[in-house]
Amino acid sequence: MNAPDLSQSLWRKSTHSGGDEGNCVEIANLNGRIAFRDSKNPAAGHLALTRENFAALLARLTAQP
């Protein structure tokens, strides 16, 4: 499987990231998949999930204390 060309991808910083908290996440829409990465180290790579799996991940994370 070929890696997608991310040079034209529009990455957005999460609205929950900010300040000096150190937890900065960026997301991008990659042809029907949602990708996310560390905004402080974008060259380290990203994780891309289907929209359904991304929604399930968010639901699981927000359900935790």
Beta bridge partners of 18: none
19 — phi, psi (to 5°)? 65, -150
2 within some domain: no
Q: Is the pLDDT of residue 56 over 90?
A: yes
57 within some domain: yes
What mean pLDDT is predicted for residues 37-62? Answer: 91
56 within some domain: yes
Under the banding of pLDDT at 50, 70 and 90, the label for residue 54 is: very high
Give the total number of structural domains in the chain. Answer: 1
Question: How far, in Å, CA of 17 to CA of 43, rounded?
Answer: 19
Residue 59 domain boundaries? 12-63
37 within some domain: yes
| Tens of pLDDT, residues 19-28 | 666 668 899 9
| Tens of pLDDT, residues 6-42 | 667 788 887 766 666 666 889 999 888 999 998 888 8
What mean pLDDT is predicted for residues 33-60? Answer: 91
DSSP 5-22: --TT---EE-TT--TTSS
